[in-house]
């Protein structure tokens, strides 16, 4: 049976499935979990994901491709650099051609 902690775990599971070179959004993750209205909480979960090295938190941006969580990484530019290293082009803290880079996460079964 689900503990409250499971929500975070599920968020991590979804994020872990985001492939290299692709990104996704907080809302998309929430929907994949069946909790469409918990986008904010997804962001909250990412805050706690910092210790986990297998959760690509930098591939999670807001719905317009804006790097809203960049300040939660070590440096202000860390998130952007990680994304650029994966082939993304970022201008003004926003991912260019975000619609193309976006990868719809698979719903939990």
Residues that bind DNA (CB under 7 A): 4-5, 7-8, 25-28, 35, 37-44, 46-47, 49-50, 57-58, 60, 62-63, 68-69, 71-73, 79
Q: Which is nearer to DNA, 37 or 109 (CB)?
A: 37
Q: Which is nearer to DNA, 21 or 47 (CB)?
A: 47
What is the 8-class DSSP label of residue 82? H
Residue 51 and residue 72 in contact, taking contact as beta carbons nearer than 8 Å: no
Q: Which is nearer to DNA, 41 or 89 (CB)?
A: 41
- Residue with tokens 């990104």, as numbered in its chain: 23
* Smallest distance from DNA to CB 84, Å: 16
* Smallest distance from DNA to CB 64, Å: 7
* Smallest distance from DNA to CB 79, Å: 7
What is the rounded distance in angstroms from the CA atom of residue 52 to the CA atom of residue 62?
A: 21
What is the rounded distance in angstroms from the CA atom of residue 9 to the CA atom of residue 12?
A: 5
- Cα dihedral 100→84→8→45 (10° resolution): -110
Q: Which is nearer to DNA, 37 or 106 (CB)?
A: 37
What is the rounded distance in angstroms from the CA atom of residue 91 to the CA atom of residue 56?
A: 20
* Smallest distance from DNA to CB 86, Å: 15
């Amino acid at each position: 049976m689900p503990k409250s902690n499971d929500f975070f775990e599920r968020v991590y599971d979804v994020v872990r499935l985001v492939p290299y070179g692709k990104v996704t959004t907080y809302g998309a993750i929430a929907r994949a979990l069946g909790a469409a209205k918990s986008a904010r909480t997804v962001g909250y979960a990412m805050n706690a994901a910092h210790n986990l090295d297998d959760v690509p938190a930098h591939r999670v941006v807001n719905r317009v491709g804006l790097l809203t969580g960049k300040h939660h990484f070590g440096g202000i530019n860390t998130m952007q650099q990680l994304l650029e290293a994966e082939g993304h082009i970022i201008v003004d803290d926003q991912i260019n051609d975000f619609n193309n880079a976006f990868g719809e996460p698979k719903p939990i079964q």
